Amino acid sequence: MTELAERYLDLRKAIPYLRARDAAERLGSTEAALVASGALGDVVPLLPDWPGLVGSFRTLKRGMALTRNEHAVHERHGSYLDVSSTAGHILVLGPDIDLRLFPGDWGSAYALGGERPSIQVFARDGSAVHKVYAVEGTDRAAWEALVAERLLANAPLPPAVPAVPAPIVPEPVPEEHRLRRDWLALQDTHDFVALLRAHNASRRMAFRVAGDDLARQLDPRAGAAVLRLAAERAVPVMVFVGNRHAIQIHSGPVTRLADIGGWFNVLDPDFNLHLREAGIAQAWRVVKPTADGAVTSIELLDEAGLPVMLVFGVRKPGRPELEEWRGIAGEVAERHSLSEAAA
């Protein structure tokens, strides 16, 4: 047993239910190094063939996909059905597991055994990217075959010390007139990231200068509020949670909601969301024009301006968004607006 694993076991005696991410932070290590140490159970390093690894998840029949950032955890049960890859992207499309993966900075992957086997992927800096857990309905023989086929001998150790955060620098302020002009000319929501790049603008700064009709600032409770209304009115939603390396999407209803220990939770049979509301620095009602009409979202940002969670109404390409969703988003915007206070 490594020294890191021993320190982890001592920490668990003092705090029994500590998550791996939080334990690594307390130990001054990375989550990847903690997993690689064997502290969490039997561990096997896997080949860093990212398209091949994700593609092989199709053989498992069913699993639980988990993607998270510091303030939100997204868990979805289902199958990895339609997996494809291009340069710099891996897509998983299906009614249950829906992922946008960016493997350019992925660094390591491990298979963990025990009562709840998992396959966990980490970035080069040792932070978690995406995890797959075995569940009822998982093909365990296919799982074992996958691990055996992708075993990596003499795997290099992941970073044991977290990277030093980049210094905070002032965000460029885009030219308001040009940004607004190009925003109003959008034809597809997927073009929004390209718009930000074209104007050298962060998401947060673009929201600040776009105008209240396009981006209206709300208080941080708006994320939970919009999911409560969606559940109450049985309006299906799309819930996006991600990090720099992966985005996971739930499309469908949310029903069972609960506030537990500072976290707002969706606890449905095939979809769980855990949102730490204290980590939400800003919330915005955002309107993006498309060829099919305006698309409305509620977007939550952390202190650094990075997305924590985005919520849209369920919508198929070529169709306008649901009027029921637009009404919910508008109602939440009216109840939780900060625009007047900011003015």
- pLDDT tens digit sequence for 93-151: 999 999 999 999 999 999 999 889 999 999 999 999 999 999 999 999 999 999 999 99
**For residue range 296-307, what is the model confidence (pLDDT) as tens digits?**
999 999 999 999
Looking at the structure, do residues 133 and 221 belong to the same domain, yes or no? no
> How many Å from the N-terminal Cα to the C-terminal Cα in the chain?
59
Do the domain assignments include residue 58?
yes
pLDDT tens-place string over residues 191-227: 999 999 999 999 999 999 999 999 999 999 999 999 9
DSSP E strands: which ranges in the chain? 43-45, 63-68, 72-78, 82-86, 89-93, 99-101, 106-112, 118-123, 128-133, 215-218, 237-242, 246-252, 257-260, 263-267, 271-276, 282-288, 295-301, 307-313
What average pLDDT does this structure show over 226-254? 98
The verdict on 9 and 130 lying in the same domain is: yes
Q: What is the percent of the chain with per-residue pLDDT over 90, rounded to a whole number?
A: 91
- Tell whether 165 is covered by a domain: no
115 with 190, same domain? no
The answer on 227 and 119 residing in a single domain is no
Q: What is the pLDDT of residues 59-94, one digit of tens each?
A: 999 999 999 999 999 999 999 999 999 989 999 999
Whether the pLDDT of residue 339 is over 70: the answer is no
Verify that 121 and 219 share a domain, yes or no: no
What's at 66, amino acid-wise? L
Q: What share of the chain in percent tops pLDDT 70?
A: 98
161 domain-assigned: no
Whether 248 and 327 map to the same domain: the answer is: yes
Q: How many structural domains is the chain composed of? A: 2
Same domain, 134 and 199: no
- Do both 201 and 327 map to the same domain? yes
Does position 168 have pLDDT exceeding 80, yes or no?
Answer: no
Asked if residue 29 is part of any domain, the answer here is yes
Domain ranges, residue 304: 176-257+275-342
